[in-house]
Amino acid sequence: MGELNAVEWDAQAVVAGLTESQGGWRADAGSWSVAECLDHLATANRVYLQAMAEPAEDGRRAARHRRGPLALGLFGRWFVRSLEPPVRPWLKTKALQAIRPRPSPSLADAWAGFLASHQAVRDFLTANADLDLSGVLFPNPFVSWVRMRLVTGLHVIAAHERRHLWQAWRVRRAAERVGA
């Protein structure tokens, strides 16, 4: 929960004092605003949690209780590291249609959605605290033939959030430089 708290505090700092207009400002037509970054994160979090829910329930029914510390595998460590900011140009990809932000969401709505998605992640963690998150696999929601550990999915959520909050900070600073 510490990573989630740190991300949420960073997100609060990003939006602190922004007007709706500033939250919707884009550097250019092809870039995202702060509100769009938050909207994207809320959507991606929901998609990941939805993919993780049934396998977690299956693990619970099979009594897959945690017996030791949670651990990322080799693939998980690589994948999480690839999402961390700063974004490397050769690792930059376009968001898939399923998790693209809505066009021009309000800052207030995007912020509320982000907070709700964060609460859903906390609820998932609380509900599954005794589950072997390192041993239960789920299908990646975007590449169905890739199966990941639940613990990897949770770390992906946090790393993905850090990546797009880094982006949101860059947008905010650019807006402040131009007086938007």
Q: What is the pLDDT of residue 87?
A: 75
Residue where the block lists tokens 């929960």: 1
pLDDT at residue 71 is higher than 90 = no
Counted residue by residue, the chain has a size of 180
Residue where the block lists tokens 């897959």: 64
In whole numbers, what is the pLDDT of the chain averaged over residues? 92
Confidence of residue 143 (pLDDT cuts 50, 70, 90): confident
- What are 131's strand-pairing partners? 65
Q: What is the pLDDT of residue 94?
A: 79
Q: Where are the domains of the chain?
A: 2-178
The answer to whether the beta carbons of residues 20 and 150 sit under 8 Å apart is no
Query: Span 154-171, mean pLDDT?
Result: 96
Q: What is the pLDDT of residue 66?
A: 82
DSSP letter assigned to residue 1: -
Confidence of residue 117 (pLDDT cuts 50, 70, 90): very high
The answer to whether the beta carbons of residues 154 and 133 sit under 8 Å apart is yes
* Summary count for the chain: helices (H), strands (E): 6, 2
Pick the CATH number of 2-178 from 3.40.50.300, 1.10.260.40, 1.20.120.450, 3.40.640.10: 1.20.120.450
Q: pTM here?
A: 0.93
Two structure tokens written together for 32: 């995202």
Q: How far is Cα 39 from Cα 60, in angstroms, rounded to an integer?
A: 31
Picking from 180, 165, 162, the residue whose alpha carbon sits closest to that of residue 26 is 180
pLDDT at residue 91 is higher than 70 = no
